[in-house]
Structure 1
Amino acid sequence: MTGKKIKKEAAIIPADLFFYPIPLTQPGQLLTRDELYRHFEQPKGRKVYMGNQDEFLSFERGIATVKLKLNDGSIYYLYLHVEKKELHIACTCGMPEEKLCFHAFIGLFNLTWLSQTFDCQKLYWPNFYNEETSRKFLNIHVSGQNINVEAKPAYGSFYRSLIGFGKSSFPKLQEQIDNTLSIKAGESFVYAYALCFAPDIYRDRHYPLLIPFHGKTDRSGLKLVAFSNFCLPDKEPNPSGDHPSQQQLNSISKTMYETMRPLFYKNESRDWQVWNEAKATIFKLWQKALPLLVDFPYNQTYLLYWLRYLREKPTKYFMQASRYSLEQPSLSFMLTFHKDRFSLSVDVIVGSQVISVEHKPHFFIHDGQTGNCYMMNSLQDDRLLNWMLDNKNKITVLKEDFAEFNEDLLKGLAEFYPVFFADKPGNRTGYDYDVLKSGLAW
């Protein structure tokens, strides 16, 4: 293959050193063992692979330096630079005849040892080659056989030229289609419902379920102080609840449970298409249940890390009283300018108030100040808010990448959601790329 010289701004080694390009598997920018074998004939025998040691030394100006000590005691230095579609590798041997050398092969073989692949995306940071920029925005962890490059927590998730957010892809946007019970006397047994959910990084273990249970009120009759086992359809086929609303809710709960349970026990071989279909089904069931739940006095939320825990007695600490509201949150985005970069965040608005959201399951947000539980307006809103919160509610874009970021993401986002711009506190205007570009004069 034809070699390529790295741009001088990205180099910390002699500018004329030859770099050999190896195509990466997309998406994900993975170097695979199979691709490596296409560029160097695999040596026979085990001895040639045993005793070779590689060590990451640094990541500077877009180049990772690896020290390779072969089993014959010789030492070579490898230099790895990642572009969107290729890994470029150089060796201190110079790679005679501009072919991949044995030393580079062994080094890459070691990097792909455990999983037959090496994730090159973690070394792909275009426009961060400048040492000052890199030091300001990135955390670089180099530890022997491991290297990790990531945005500093203060900047959330960085937009990277040509790949956007990489494996954590921005949610796809599409056109949206429009779519009373009394309090019991004190110390009474009641039949109530819990929103059972897993939050944040655990939320994909299962989707939120509406599960009935028996509880006992305190002396005032205003709140529950004791909880019995959950009433599961496969354990209690004829649940309590004579009120028509309860009968409807029991039917909805049963359908949710029967939709989710088979998928949970096939979790290791997850079919995401099936899971997404189940997600849409359960979301629609919640939309039917919500108007019925609003007037129930003893609604609870329950932190449920694993679906199998429904077969155990509820943990009192994880039960929290909750009030459902028919108001639906809306999303509003704020783009802020910081001299050398832009940041994008999202506000969650209920009525005219911005509410703070830190921990979130699928479908719902919980207002800690009021105790109100709100259901998201759509699955698209839900996916988008989850994604933003998982990225610390801050997307950072270097000024040099902003034009591409606008075309790739922001223009489309502004078609579906309000986006505002602020170049200083209190100075908020509607986002317009042409006006912004003219005003900032770049």
Structure 2
Amino acid sequence: MPKKIKLGTILPPNTFFYTIAFEQPGQRLTREILEKHYPVPKGRKAHRGIHTEYNAFKNGMVSVEVKAPDNSENMLFLHVGLTELDVACTCGMPDGKLCYHAYMGLHSLAWYHYLDLDRYYWPGLTADDNIKNKFLTTEVTKNWITVKPKAKYGNIFKSTFGFEGDKYLEINKPVKLENVVIGGQEAVAYCLAYNVGSYGNSFLPVLIPCLGLTSKNNEEMISFKQFGRADKPIQNITYTSNQELLNDIGFKQYDIAKTYDNLDGQEKRNELLHLKQNILTLWEQAIPLLSNEQYIYGYYTYWLKYLKDKPRKADIRDCRYSLKRPVLSFALKFHQDHFSFAAIVSVNDKPLKFNYKPHLFVFDNITELCYLMPSVQDDNLLMWVLSNNKRLTILKEHFTEFHDAFLAKVSSFYLVLFTHPKSKKAVPYSFEMISSEII
């Protein structure tokens, strides 16, 4: 019979681990899978009285204290692999079978009927606590353990799985822009309504007409009275033909954005590309018309539903559109034991500077111009990179896999500049050069 392990000791080399293979996509343990490895206790009271507390995440293992209904106290040690969960218990697991304490503890942890363990899978990072503490931040409570990249490393490449969120990206050859004919007729006040925040929670930007009062010299709006919507139009205004076109564009955008806003999380992810493309196409029609507007503003609001009554003067921003479209490229750098990957948005080869970004637009701090992104793909790729402290991180040992899974495709469609660690010069990315000189 295996020797019982004392609590708080380092696991001996011959510690027995029982292996449970994952059957679901990803690294999810369900109660159904668990019940295939242990005779399910009968009766409704069999699972009552179980108490579990997360203890630590060290050397790639999660430790969980288990107090079972039979008053026994043990510590579980969970090691998450690519395709399986290895479980050890301080009882030693007699006869090489999953023990009662492990079954009861895992059954309790899977209180939603499943337990997602991918958060503890960080190949190349967690086996050594010094490396783990450099790249990852770990929060341990009695009820959960959170493991995530430190902010300065952004989104870290995870071997086999890639980056967080990259499953929803589409990377194809960017669309070729056609010259847009600029219309030139007089118009009245219009606002670009937008918000910023987490990628999935931001509403799609819309053009919305506003009724306001101009200053004495007619150079600006000094107050605003009403938003104009299809269900609540601005009255007693004689619209020009240009304004009629802009109104139609704005009303269509609002309907699209409202449709998107009413979807749940998974539906939003499924419909984002299609609806966002429709919004972009309408913006491509609107911006040339807006170039001749006298009163153009940006309007920041937290929720689309706030576009009901009238704009708040405090949320109005100056807004000048550029007819030029920015170019998306990327910068790759080497930092002794890892690589960083960042996005660059430029116009006429000059990088734009911006602190925040809504869907589809970039507001440049230097020129104070508003640029419409050239495609939904470019915008989604840029926002995804920006969403994790503006960078991706790849361990040196994972670079070849990163190239095969991600960078080879990106670099075939976009310019990727690699800063050579010796010359400090930015040169076009070459996997052959990096593989021969660095990895």
TM-score normalised to structure 2 length: 0.90
Deviation at 1:275, TM superposition (A): 4.4
Instruction: Say which of 332, 350, 354 aligns to 2:329.
Output: 332
For 2:368 and 2:236, the matched residues in 1 are separated by 28
Aligned to 2:317: 320
The 1:374/1:166 distance shift into structure 2, 3 A limit, reads closer
Conservation of the 8 A alpha-carbon contact between 1:214 and 1:230: yes
Conservation of the 8 A alpha-carbon contact between 2:199 and 2:387: no
Deviation at 1:234, TM superposition (A): 0.9
Aligned length in residues: 423
Instruction: Say which of 58, 61, 73 aligns to 2:59.
Output: 61
Q: 1:200 is paired with a residue of what secondary structure?
A: coil
For 2:384 and 2:20, the matched residues in 1 are separated by 32
Deviation at 1:150, TM superposition (A): 1.2
Aligned to 2:3: none
Aligned to 2:20: 22
Deviation at 1:160, TM superposition (A): 1.1
The 1:157/1:265 distance shift into structure 2, 3 A limit, reads closer
Structure 1 range deviating more: 318-327 or 131-140: 131-140
For 1:35 and 1:254, the matched residues in 2 are separated by 51
For 2:264 and 2:286, the matched residues in 1 are separated by 27
Q: 2:380 is paired with a residue of what secondary structure?
A: helix
For 1:386 and 1:160, the matched residues in 2 are separated by 20
The 1:318/1:88 distance shift into structure 2, 3 A limit, reads same
Structure 1 range deviating more: 374-383 or 344-353: 344-353
Aligned counterparts, 1:319-398, within 5 A? 319-398=316-395
Deviation at 1:346, TM superposition (A): 1.1
Conservation of the 8 A alpha-carbon contact between 1:151 and 1:157: yes
For 1:349 and 1:428, the matched residues in 2 are separated by 16
Aligned to 2:432: 434
Aligned to 1:260: 257
Deviation at 1:268, TM superposition (A): 7.0
Deviation at 1:240, TM superposition (A): 4.1
For 1:191 and 1:227, the matched residues in 2 are separated by 13
For 2:95 and 2:83, the matched residues in 1 are separated by 23
> Structure 1 counterpart of 2:382, which letter?
L
Instruction: Say which of 117, 123, 128 aligns to 1:130.
Output: 128
TM-score normalised to structure 1 length: 0.89
Aligned to 1:102: 100
Aligned to 1:419: 416
Q: 2:371 is paired with a residue of what secondary structure?
A: strand
The 1:173/1:344 distance shift into structure 2, 3 A limit, reads same
Structure 1 range deviating more: 173-182 or 121-130: 173-182
For 1:25 and 1:288, the matched residues in 2 are separated by 49
> Structure 1 counterpart of 2:204, which letter?
Y
Conservation of the 8 A alpha-carbon contact between 1:327 and 1:351: no
- Answering whether residue 158 of structure 2 is matched by residue 160 of structure 1, we say yes
Aligned to 2:4: none
Cα distance per residue 1:370-421 (max 9 Å; x no partner)? 2211000100100001001101111111111111111111111100111111
Instruction: Say which of 219, 222, 230 aligns to 1:222.
Output: 219
The 1:273/1:57 distance shift into structure 2, 3 A limit, reads closer
Instruction: Say which of 149, 159, 163 aligns to 1:151.
Output: 149
Deviation at 1:237, TM superposition (A): 8.0
For 1:431 and 1:296, the matched residues in 2 are separated by 43
Cα distance per residue 1:139-187 (max 9 Å; x no partner)? 11111121011111111111011111245547220123435456xxxxx
Q: 1:323 is paired with a residue of what secondary structure?
A: coil
For 1:67 and 1:399, the matched residues in 2 are separated by 36
Aligned to 1:234: 231
> Structure 2 counterpart of 1:21, which letter?
T
Q: 1:89 is paired with a residue of what secondary structure?
A: strand
Deviation at 1:40, TM superposition (A): 2.6
Conservation of the 8 A alpha-carbon contact between 2:165 and 2:384: no
For 1:432 and 1:133, the matched residues in 2 are separated by 28
Deviation at 1:345, TM superposition (A): 0.8
For 1:170 and 1:277, the matched residues in 2 are separated by 13
Cα distance per residue 1:31-60 (max 9 Å; x no partner)? 222322232333233433223221222111
Structure 1 range deviating more: 159-168 or 21-30: 21-30
Structure 1 range deviating more: 97-106 or 32-41: 32-41
The 1:27/1:206 distance shift into structure 2, 3 A limit, reads farther
In structure 2, runs of 5+ residues without a counterpart are: 1-8, 178-183
Aligned counterparts, 1:23-62, within 5 A? 23-24=21-22, 26-62=24-60
Identity fraction in percent: 36
